Amino acid sequence: MQRNLTVAQAQDTILQAVFRLPPETVESASALGRVLAEDVRSTRILPPADCSAMDGYALRVADCAQASEGAPARLQVAFEVAAGGEAEVALEAGQAARIFTGAPVPPGADAVIMQEHVEAEAGGEAILVARPVEAGDHIRLAGEDLAHGDAVLAEGDLVRPTVAGLLASLGRTVVSVVRRPRVAILSSGDELVEPDAPIDGGRIVSSNSYTLAAMCREVGAEPYYLGIARDRPEDLEAHVRAALVADCIVTSAGVSVGDHDHVKDVFAKLGCEFVFWGVQLKPGHPMLFGRFPNGPAPGSPGPFLFGLPGNPVSAAVTFEQFVRPALRKMSGHSRVFRPTVSARLRTPLSKRPGRLNLVRVSLSVEDGEVWATSTGNQSSGVFRSMSDAQGLLVFPGPQSELEAGAEVTVQIIDDSFFAGGERGFEGV
Ligand code: AMP
Ligand code: MG
């Protein structure tokens, strides 16, 4: 087992160990946010035929070649084609067809003229065209959007709303996507209770279970809550056994060196191999990563273990740094990290040189610059500093001072930071 890795080493180790989960077939209509596990080629032509882009008249360009204001061409309106209709009858010389947007262009016609650009005779039997028309005007060509055999989507693509529409256009009602990671969430501690229990006598609510389950859901994984294990090896073991069918087990607490920290022993007894313990990070130092080489099903590997610190701030920060990228990789994403931005520090910060600190900050944008302000008491016991945070400011290990105005890197942990409070462009 490796000890005290840097954040980068720990992330690299985890990302090398975890793998993309196998595919599953789901209904395309519910595939939003999933990653495709197949290449999708077009088996259709779109539009399926040459069709009109306007309401107007299909005509033959040759009939209007000499047309002018003084000598308009008079075309007989021979028939009508509506959207969804069929255009079987061919247009003959001197004829036009009334046509509507999306309707197939009849054989013989080589352009469409907008209805605003013609004069219809009373009764609608003929039109006067007072200008020459170019071949192809206002015609959407068959296959100009999708041709048969086009490589439309690739394995690894994210199903965004427009991808859902594209799949529908292709007639793909089901699609192969990467399976969602199933994450067992286990809390341990004799002091822990559920939110609706009284909190007298030193009890605290197992808030980590709720934070971590929500973080799983936010990243598209499926959490399932295993309840609270008491600080007894037998009870922990029973809970861990129930977790072995998962893709990942995320525990909080019990991985430091306290007398009641049985978590590591129980995992070792059940066949977990520890890969590393301890990260040079504050908050979040006593983080444990392991894997079960053998799962409950013969021949298949067992879950990965993320033993997070019990402290609610540390649990949330280590989930963000280590579990989240792993779950994204398992879900098939190629971009696994949170975005970072350059920001300026509002008020100075200091620490002892040593471990990398991730400082909880709120963010504001002024004159195009992002300003980061500490959310207050940075003790890892103060969860408000985390729940108020939009970002984690990177305070590098060797440094001890960051002055007001210093340029810093901030990892954005709240997607709504990127939402626009203002239009952002001139709406004229
Ligand atoms: P431990 O790692 O067991 O020493 O726990 C460190 C701190 O985290 C203690 O103050 C625990 O009460 C707290 N803690 C442990 N588990 C949870 C949990 N599931 N939810 C909230 N706080 C917790
Ligand atoms: Mg404990």
- Verify that 284 and 380 share a domain, yes or no: no
Report the C-alpha gap between 46 and 409 in whole angstroms: 46
Number of domains in the chain: 4
What are 294-314's pLDDT values in tens digits? 988 888 899 999 999 999 999
- Tell me whether residue 392 is in a domain: yes
- Verify that 187 and 234 share a domain, yes or no: yes
Task: Check which CATH number belongs to the domain holding 58 and give it.
Answer: 2.170.190.11
Report the C-alpha gap between 226 and 229 in whole angstroms: 8
What are 61-106's pLDDT values in tens digits? 999 999 999 999 999 999 999 999 888 899 999 999 999 999 999 9
- Verify that 282 and 323 share a domain, yes or no: yes
Pairing of strands 222-229, 182-188: parallel
Q: How far is the centre of ligand 2, averaged over its atoms, from the C-alpha of 232 (Å)?
A: 11
pLDDT band at residue 379 using 50, 70 and 90 as cut-offs: confident
- Tell me whether residue 427 is in a domain: no
Return the biggest CA–CA distance within the chain.
Answer: 102
Q: How far is the centre of ligand 1, averaged over its atoms, from the C-alpha of 197 (Å)?
A: 17
User: Could you tell me which of 77, 75, 91 has the C-alpha nearest to residue 130?
Assistant: 75
* Mean pLDDT value across residues 244-257: 88
What pLDDT, on the 0 to 100 scale, is given for residue 390? 98
Q: How far is the centre of ligand 1, averaged over its atoms, from the C-alpha of 177 (Å)?
A: 37
Nearest residue by C-alpha to atom 2 in ligand 1 = 253
User: Could you tell me which of 363, 355, 418, 358 has the C-alpha nearest to residue 393?
Assistant: 358
pLDDT band at residue 253 using 50, 70 and 90 as cut-offs: confident
Single out the residue in 330, 362, 387 at which a domain terminates: 330
What residue type is 44 in one-letter code? R
Nearest residue by C-alpha to atom 14 in ligand 1 = 310
CB of 258 shorter than 6 A to ligand 1: yes
CB of 286 shorter than 6 A to ligand 1: no
What pLDDT, on the 0 to 100 scale, is given for residue 373? 98
- Verify that 32 and 60 share a domain, yes or no: no
pLDDT band at residue 257 using 50, 70 and 90 as cut-offs: low
Question: Residues 6 or more apart from 2 whose CB is under 8 A from it?
Answer: 13, 275, 276, 277
- Verify that 204 and 296 share a domain, yes or no: yes
- Verify that 30 and 18 share a domain, yes or no: no
- Backbone phi and psi for residue 292, each to the nearest 5 degrees, phi listed first: -100, 110
Q: How many separate helices (H) and strands (E) can be counted in the chain?
A: 8, 29
105: DSSP letter:
P
Chain position carrying tokens 């971590």: 212
- Tell me whether residue 224 is in a domain: yes
Burial of 290 from C-beta contacts in 10 A (0-12 / 13-18 / 19+): buried
CA distances from 266 to 4, 19, 52, 241 (A): 22, 25, 70, 10
In Å, how far from its chain's centre is CA 192? 33
Single out the residue in 305, 330, 355 at which a domain terminates: 330
- Tell me whether residue 393 is in a domain: yes
- Verify that 235 and 352 share a domain, yes or no: no
- Verify that 36 and 91 share a domain, yes or no: no
- Verify that 125 and 65 share a domain, yes or no: yes
Q: Which residue among 192, 205, 259 has the greatest number of ligand 1 atoms within 8 angstroms of its CB, and so is best to mutate? A: 192
- Tell me whether residue 407 is in a domain: yes
Q: How far is the centre of ligand 1, averaged over its atoms, from the C-alpha of 74 (Å)?
A: 86
What are 222-242's pLDDT values in tens digits? 999 999 999 899 999 999 999
Q: Above pLDDT 70, what percent of the chain?
A: 99
| Structural domain of 367 | 340-418
- Verify that 124 and 158 share a domain, yes or no: no
